[in-house]
Structure 1
Amino acid sequence: MMQTQKFLIPLLLASLEAVAAATPNCDLKPSYPAPIVSNGWSAQLVAQGAIEARSIIFDSAGNLLVVQAGYGIFHLAFNDGGSTCLEVAKNTTLISSEALQHGIALSNDGKTLYASSSDAVYSWEYDPEAISLSSTNQTLITGMSNDDHTSRTLLMSQMVPNTLVVSRGSNSNIDLEAEDIKTGHSQIRAFDLTNKAMTSNSTPYDFTTQGRILGWGLRNSVGIAEEPLTGGIYSVENSADEIQRDGTDIHQNNPGEEMNFHGFLNSSTDPNQGGNYGYPNCFALWNTSIPNLGNMTVGSQFSLDQNSTSNDTFCADDHIAPRLTFQAHMAPLDIIFLPNGTEAYISFHGSWNRDPPIGYKVSSIAFSAGSPVAAADSTTALTDLISNADNLKCPDCFRPVGLAMDSQGRIFISSDATGEIYVLAKTSNATASSTSPPSSTPTKSKAGIPLGNNGAARWAFGVAVLFLL
């Protein structure tokens, strides 16, 4: 018996250690009231300590890359128990940089990583299996420095390989320089990276003078996505704050946030591609209780003042109206699609200048044949999936930014205000519920993102060892 134990104990110990290492704890909970989810969905907090977590993306090995604004890019590997049961198994610092702010993308083969500062886009050679980057980076695009909006969202096209879409916002709330297309302010452009090899002498593109203009007059279009069936490019725009209409304060409910369509990257058939979407002169109407409404409806382009050079007629005739309009000040920051093109998901970061606060949620929009199902003047296009029970406690609450979908169709969500990552998954549940609450204090990782403690598995491991001894 003792001889048998001599050989079995090491094998069993190794097996139990493997179980302990692979069994997620799934018990993280926020320090604030947990967000609630809609019928048919469940949510769970899966990572904490991700300070200023912004854009997120999965690499080809199935691990999550997280941009932490002002800190760099981090690689998270999870222990996965299925559905929303995950915990961080390993946290690796890929890039330590105060300059990186928001944008991240991967090449079509997954072997080049792109990231952005407020002024430039950079690239690194990336090995997702070894979790390593090249020691040097290449500057691909420059000339985007702003005083105000500093997010430079990146999107790598799947329909037109090696085409990188970049969004640059305005220099202020009402940026009059954006009236001139030559300034490069408030624009979305696409760049062909086919011949941009990793060489030190490669000349970067200049954002203001090069690239293909997909749209201008876009105040701050932080979220960009490519519809997976047709390849249509959509963006979601944060519109202006504190506006007046003919001297009347209408900022509580106007102007609306926008979803805009920008045609296709493969020789677009959309005559509006590269057109002017209105800003800083024209905005999308959300609430129709405004002075001198005329025959406008939700989504109509309107002017802040009526004069000979800027008026509602000028806005309607010479500018592109949004495909959908949303409640003012919800601050959409990301958009992603289901692979089958039937739904888009949008993160709404939430308002800072509205009473009561609004947004702070992730919502879905039904799509069909490459376009939203809802009419352009709809006020009911959104279906909320996860939100705070009481926005009056915000911004110290769940405040979503980045969205990423894994191979199982689960939606991962970054919350920058709380430094967290959530996962959202479809279930068969029929009632709304909050994220799960049990309370074990996790062990902090070196970079601040906690690693799981595998409590149940380690308890079983200890019991088994005592039994054998």
Structure 2
Amino acid sequence: MAVVAILPHAFAQTCATINPANAPTWASGYSGRVVMNGLRTPRGIIFDNQGNLLTTEQGGYGVRYITLNDYGGTNVCVKSNKQLISDSTINHGIALTPDGKKLYVSSLTTVWSWDYDGTTGTVSNKKTVIENMRNGGFHPTRTLLVPKNQPDVLLVQRGSADNVDAAAAQIETARSQIRVFKLADIEAGVKDYTAGQVLAWGLRNSVGVGEHPDGGIWSVDNGVDDMRRGSTDVHNTNPCEELNYHGQIQNAASPERGAHYGYPECGAVWDLSVIPSNTGLKVGTPLVIGGPSGSNTDAMCQSRQWPKLCFPSHTAPLDIKFNKNGTTAYIPFHGSWNKSPADGFRLSRVNWDAATGQPMDASTSTTAAVDIMYNANNGNCPNRCFRPVNVAFGPNGQLFMTSDTTNEIWVIGGATF
């Protein structure tokens, strides 16, 4: 028995160090390391049921299949990797059914499916399942999610066709929306994006879509650039980046199902100090972009769905993932060009009430997002700093993150996971 007891220690291994392109700063209790570099603009990231990692590479490769050696904590390294799917149009979205047998991947225009075998790392039986999602070249990514609480549907996000896309005010354009598709329907024959059920609309570009353990669907929205309030330029600190709630996916009668979230007419307040005539406004209050006219009034904006939380303007949140017990959400802020000084370029956590399925902080909070991994100097961004995109929990509880400017995948460990 003594020999058996010491075997794990005798054969313990340590992964070789990969020096990061830009070393981050860590909050107390968190640490991490680069698992893999040399990728080509990694974006979406998921784990299959065998513990293998899949990532989309926006830089022209398609989908990569990565097997890992996990020696505990952040001591994780690549065992092998290969190109799973070769398609230069694949740019972000990736999802697996909970049984691990069907893989969905997206481009600017299209969602495809494959039969997937995680043990052999192979795909077969490619199908086009959803099409007609072109927005020109603006907001090209299409985030995908198969919810665990309703595994017979696929959620597909589509952003706007311009900074302020006036046509997105018409639900029939199917832009700035999240739509729901029955898997059986799309596998039976290709569907136009407009055929999906509207889960939410009025979302400018909600690249981050995630599921709380209770089935609640949440998104993080990127607000408009160059916002004015009347004749006043307020864009450097407004509007806020929004955290929005879309109800429990398994509850078709949820009051949030099919609701309007304000765009393109409305944004929400982040910085009151620069907004003229701000009496009665607070952080998170929806208001008209530009100036009120006709039916486009602040009251109209406030009759639509309000954000559950706000984050600083132009920080570009691109994902939201929850820990297993639903007490924490992790949000990567990709960062934006439309602000001085540069902001974002960090990974943050938001505390959650698992019992209610809602954030702990009030909707007016300006401190709900707590940074856990960040660049010491955002003046080097976006080209000379890490720039987080997507996150995913691995089978042993660590958090993995893609950084597209540095072409890296990170593993992150912390006591609160």
Partner of 1:409: 397
Structure 2 CA distance for aligned equivalents of residues 95 and 31 of structure 1: 27
Tell me, which stretches of 5 or more residues in structure 1 are unaligned? Answer: 1-18, 429-469
1:351-362 to 2 correspondences below 5 Å: 351-362=336-347
TM-score normalized by the length of structure 1:
0.83
Q: Larger radius of gyration, structure 1 or 2? A: 1
Structure 1 CA distance for aligned equivalents of residues 332 and 185 of structure 2: 34
Partner of 1:391: 378
Contact 1:42 1:427 (8 Å CA) reproduced: no
SS in 1 for 2:246: strand
Structure 2 CA distance for aligned equivalents of residues 327 and 294 of structure 1: 21
1:82-93 to 2 correspondences below 5 Å: 82-93=72-83
1:301 aligns to 2:286 (yes or no): yes
Quote the RMSD (CA, aligned, Å).
1.6
1:236-247 to 2 correspondences below 5 Å: 236-247=220-231
Partner of 2:236: 252
Contact 2:385 2:405 (8 Å CA) reproduced: yes
SS in 1 for 2:40: coil
Shift in Å at residue 80 of structure 1? Answer: 2.1
Structure 2 CA distance for aligned equivalents of residues 116 and 31 of structure 1: 28
1:370-381 to 2 correspondences below 5 Å: 370-381=357-368
Structure 1 CA distance for aligned equivalents of residues 170 and 14 of structure 2: 54
Structure 1 CA distance for aligned equivalents of residues 144 and 321 of structure 2: 13
1:63 aligns to 2:52 (yes or no): yes
Contact 1:23 1:79 (8 Å CA) reproduced: no
1:36-435 to 2 correspondences below 5 Å: 36-69=25-58, 70-134=60-124, 136-147=125-136, 148-197=138-187, 202-208=188-194, 210-228=195-213, 230-289=214-273, 290-303=275-288, 304-317=290-303, 319-368=304-353, 369-395=356-382, 396-427=384-415
Moved more, 363-372 or 22-31: 22-31
Shift in Å at residue 50 of structure 1? Answer: 1.3
Partner of 2:8: none
Identify if the C-alpha distance between structure 1 residues 279 and 335 changes in structure 2 by more than 3 Å, giving closer, same or farther.
Answer: same
Identify if the C-alpha distance between structure 1 residues 25 and 328 changes in structure 2 by more than 3 Å, giving closer, same or farther.
Answer: same
Identify if the C-alpha distance between structure 1 residues 221 and 214 changes in structure 2 by more than 3 Å, giving closer, same or farther.
Answer: same
Query: How many equivalent pairs are there?
Result: 401
Shift in Å at residue 269 of structure 1? Answer: 4.2
Q: Residue type of the partner of 2:123?
A: L
Shift in Å at residue 75 of structure 1? Answer: 0.8
Tell me, which stretches of 5 or more residues in structure 2 are unaligned? Answer: 1-10
Contact 2:115 2:123 (8 Å CA) reproduced: yes
Runs of 4+ in 1 over 4 A off after TM superposition: none
RCO comparison, higher one (Cα < 8 Å, 6+): 1
Shift in Å at residue 152 of structure 1? Answer: 0.2
Identify if the C-alpha distance between structure 1 residues 269 and 372 changes in structure 2 by more than 3 Å, giving closer, same or farther.
Answer: farther
Contact 1:26 1:86 (8 Å CA) reproduced: no
Higher percent of residues as strand: 2
Q: Residue type of the partner of 1:378?
A: S
Partner of 1:451: none
Shift in Å at residue 24 of structure 1? Answer: 4.2
